[in-house]
Amino acid sequence: MTVLYHNPRCSKSRAAVALCEASDLDVEIHLYLTDPLSKEVLQDVLSRLDGPISAAIRSKDAKFKEVDSSNLDLESLDSVVEFLSMHGHLMERPLLDTGAISVIGRPMEHLEAHL
């Protein structure tokens, strides 16, 4: 099943929901802020990420500066998973996982190819 990890406060994420609803695919919408992802799910989803693992973290977000990132290795899947398991609000969104590939919808065209 295809899953869209969604933050309703994010306009790009809301646009991704609209794309999913317009597609022929059965897409589950997962509100990751209210239902945080386990380390196992993060590992699974991010291991299939199309692009650099560093793209999974909102490192330019002002809240990123408020957390301890001194042990974060942006090139390491395990390090990114560990960081996001503690700071899920800093996961880049929208994130679409088809089960074969995970894609960040920035720009939105990245999602369109998989819906």
Q: Which two tokens stand for residue 8?
A: 């309703």
Evaluated on CA atoms 42, 44, 95, 92, the torsion sign reads positive
Q: Distance between CA 24 and CA 98 in Å, rounded?
A: 13
CB 55 within 8 A of CB 91: no
Tell me which residue of 38, 56, 39, 45 sits closest to 105, measured CA to CA.
56
Condensed to tens digits (0 to 9), the pLDDT of residues 60-69 reads 999 999 999 9
Structure tokens at 80: 């990114």
Which three-class secondary structure state does DSSP give residue 20?
A: helix
- The active-site residue out of 10, 15, 29, 41 is 10
In the predicted model, is pLDDT for residue 56 greater than 90?
A: yes
**Which superfamily does 2-112 belong to?**
Glutaredoxin (3.40.30.10)
Task: List, for residues 9-52, the tens digit of each pLDDT value.
Answer: 999 999 999 999 999 889 999 999 999 999 999 999 999 999 99
pTM, two decimals, is: 0.94
Q: What is the pLDDT of residue 115?
A: 87
Domain borders along the chain are: 2-112
- Percentage of the chain modeled with pLDDT above 90: 92
10 tagged catalytic? yes
Residue 29 CA, chain-centre distance (Å), reads 12
